[in-house]
Chain A
Amino acid sequence: MKNFGRLASLFSLALMLEGMTSAPQVQAPRSFATSDVPGLFPSPGTETLPNGVVLASQGAQGTADTPIVSVNVFLPAGAAQQPVDRSGIAGLTAAVILGSRVDRDRTLSQVASDAGASLSYTIDPENTRFSIECKADDLPHLIAGLSSALKAPDASALPATRKVALQSAKDAISDPAMTVYAMIRQSEFAGTGYAKLDQGSPTALAAITSADVDSFAGQYRHGHGTVVAMTGDVTPADYDAIRNAFLGFAPDSAPRGAAPPKLRANELVAHRAVAAPWVAVGYSVPSQFSSDFPVMLVIEALLGRGGDVHSFSYGSDAQLPEGFVGGYYQYEAEPGMLIEFYNGADIFNELRTLNAGVSRLRSSTLPALLVSEAKLAAEGTFLTSVATLDDQSWLLGRSVLSPSGTAFENELPRKIAAVTPADIRRVAQKYLGTQLLALVSPNQVGP
């Protein structure tokens, strides 16, 4: 999901603590269709190839209003699938794919730029995702190039991509918000490939060889777990090109990362040259395919959103979320993480307010009106996050990967609407009892 930056808290915790003080008002009911009507998002067509690759196409074949097509390719090797001593290899491998020569001396990335297209990668917790947006006529050529690079990553691209990756890793280390985020990740996912930032550690990046890249790319090429989602003007030629490109994947499943240990109550401190302290408070919460996910989205709205799920994502087009404050719900990880970021001189008062608010969520049943307002905001945030063609194909791919299949995207708003005050208390009790606090302290010589 992609949004504008969100910094303001919707429902102040002070309000939560004091109960509803504003006059009762009538909420406009949601107008989502009932279960016998398809819903807001068009129903996709899907096909499962013999090797397990799922192709999903939405809103195409005559319904498009632009000659542009968007494709998101979800490959079953993400940050969590990295060897623990090779953090950063997911990003490095994806970058090598984009830097592979596929058209005489032109790299895949250059071929896309030459066509005016976008071709990028994002490292998700459980996937590497390649996104393409181009004219429908150009897609077969670009998909053929991507397929070629996936089969044989071009080792000659490694030095240049490593240099860029090292700089990204160094930039992340010097950013206080990234530092507290890294501390939460390290503690919650210790012993797994997801423990380190997606940028990787400079030491590990320096040690990665082309054989490591080939090995990680090998994890891409498994049919089961691979999803190709298409939106926009998907022509028959486009569809056939995609089908042919992924028929060669192995008819089995990719190995998955080990389950992370339970979150330990902990406080971590680091020191950086920052003007004011930076704090992150993390909770281990439900992931996107949990039945508690809709309830957690409402709790997120109650606590006040800060950024979308990809705010800290690493990828070819990603930038550091400099100066990040507010809430961040990483629901693509397993388990999910809810992290509240604070900085400035008043952080300890804000932490007290957060703790009092969380305590209220866990110990009492919120007024129905307050819950109704939070649901309205949570549903709206979900809907407005699906704006571009790329958003649509990303959401379609996520739906295909979900246990409820392609109905996921239309079911989610209804499930949010069905959340009750009792649900919120139950889920808060289940997930918000243990917190991890990470602090970056200023003006000291740090580790």
Chain B
Amino acid sequence: MMDRRRGVLAALFITGATLSAPALPSPALAATELAPGETVLSDGLTMEVRHSPGSGSVALEIWVRCPANGWTSAQPGIARLTALAAVDAKSGNTTLRDTVHARGGEVGVSIFQTATEFVVLSPADQAPVLEDALMRAVFRSTIDSAALDQARTRLAAEQAISAQSAAAVLRDKVFATIFTNGPLHDAPLGDAKLLQSASLTEVRDFAAHSYVPSASAVIALGNGDANALRAHIAAASPSEAGSTTLPGSAIGSVPSAPIALTNPDVDGPGVALGWAGPPISDRRAATAMDFLSDYLTDPKTGVFANAATSTTAGASIDGQYVTLEQSGLFFVSATGTGVDPATMEKSLRDALDQVVTRSISRGGFAAALSAYETRLLRQMDSPQGLADNYGWYFAMNAPSYAPSATDVSLSGEYFAAAASLTPDYVRDVAHRYLGVAPVVVTITPQKPSAAMLDGGGS
């Protein structure tokens, strides 16, 4: 499954952003099979506009395929710094953030290792105006030093919060261990070093290189006028397609011993396990891993959750299969007061053994598969939930495989793959990908010992 988680103005946005001729639908430019309803404009911009009745809002999103750690993999966090600056950059006398807030909407950015997401939750009747503002902020960004300063402040706060979360630290370390280089190696938030070193020129260069139509998808989903939104997107799309190629990330060997982290600032001890998984091109196996992710890590019913709370009352489970264009990554962490990392590791691995070596009973499997589908559908019970899902699968270069590309009868590639799963096939996939030695990372909330500082730990 996908990787997750106020004012004045107006006239400015009624004009502008239409200086170039509207981009036209051009399916021939589509490099991959699109989801139903998706179009690729003549400048390479992918567009998904879908009317969804009932809500009062429209989710407006732009997803960009770009590396979070920079095009040379040397600037961890540059994508987030740039995206935050774009939201706070002045165009005319206002910013995207203020424009959206003045209309009662919300704006945000999410950064993943190989993708940047801009999202505006717009009141339904304001969607065309805010769509124009969003596209201008991204594709014609005017980042200045004031916007960059604001972005630095926001990012510093985010980094500080993340550094206190044992689960977040463990997850980042699992990624960094399984992927030895490239964008998947580094944490999307980056580190404090970037806040000091990134210049305005570097941030502007990153935006210019990354925010190009050929690497981007614009998604508008909700209770808005779909035709009007399509027209606004086409009119606001840049004429230059741009060109980018994402750097790759190599998979490393699994360390023979657990990686021990010590950090006095984290919120508790914990342990994480991680495995490389199938690429998104292996649809059925990737779907089986999604099912396993739900079956193992659901906080209420998951096999890992039961094992963790049986071992340490109150332990928190965080886990997911992150479907990626190349090899995916399955991780699970158990954290919380009283967690003994070594004991917890054994409990989790013992619980997993049951799933890797034995097929789930047919009755149990049918119920678990239905429950998994339900939880997945519930994640998409809002315009933003649906739009996020479309965006993630665009970013993974597999738009037609998006679970959101479905309907009341569960049509579409994804749910067809889910329906094809059997207990034996799921066991085989579990054995193939989770039956091997995992990357193990432990963390304890204490200062590093002298031995660790000398190289005994990470």
Interface residues of A (CB under 8 A from B): 3-4, 6, 8-11, 22, 25-28, 30-32, 40-42, 58-59, 63-68, 70, 113-118, 133-135, 138, 231-233, 301, 304-305, 373, 376-392
Contacts and interface: CB of A to CB of B under 8 A. Distances in A.
Q: Interface residues of A: mostly helix, strand, loop or mixed?
A: loop
B374 A68 contact: yes
Interface string B1-35: 00000111111111000000000000000000000
Contacts of B156: none
B378 A133 contact: yes
A223 B253 CA distance: 65
Interface string B360-388: 00000001001111110110111111000
Contacts of B381: 66, 68, 70, 133, 232, 388-390
Given A9-B6, A10-B102, A386-B57, 13 more contacts: A40-B223, A65-B53, A66-B377, A66-B380, A66-B381, A70-B381, A113-B371, A114-B371, A116-B378, A135-B374, A377-B6, A377-B104, A380-B104
Nearest to A396: B54
B259 interface: no
Interface string B45-79: 00000001111110000000000000000000000
A40 B55 CA distance: 8
Given A40-B223, A66-B381, A116-B370, A25 B54 contact: no
The 5 closest A-B pairs by CB, nearest first: A380-B104, A116-B374, A116-B371, A10-B6, A383-B56
Contacts of B407: 65-66
Interface of B: 6-14, 52-57, 101-106, 108, 121-126, 129, 223, 298, 300-301, 367, 370-375, 377-378, 380-385, 406-410
Nearest to A63: B53
Contacts of B125: 30-32, 40, 383
B54 A116 contact: no
A25 B11 contact: yes
Contacts of B380: 66
A115 B370 contact: yes
Contacts of A379: 104, 123
14 contacts: A25-B10, A28-B13, A31-B125, A42-B53, A65-B53, A114-B301, A116-B370, A116-B372, A376-B102, A381-B104, A382-B104, A383-B104, A383-B123, A388-B385
A30 B126 CA distance: 8
Nearest to A6: B6
Contact of A373 (B8, B374, B375, B410): B8
B108 to A, nearest CB: 7
A118 B378 contact: yes
Contacts of A64: 408
Given A25-B11, A59-B53, A65 B370 contact: no
Given A30-B125, A32-B125, A304 B382 contact: no
Nearest to B13: A28
B228 to A, nearest CB: 10
B382 A387 contact: yes
Most buried by A among B13, B104, B106, B384: B104
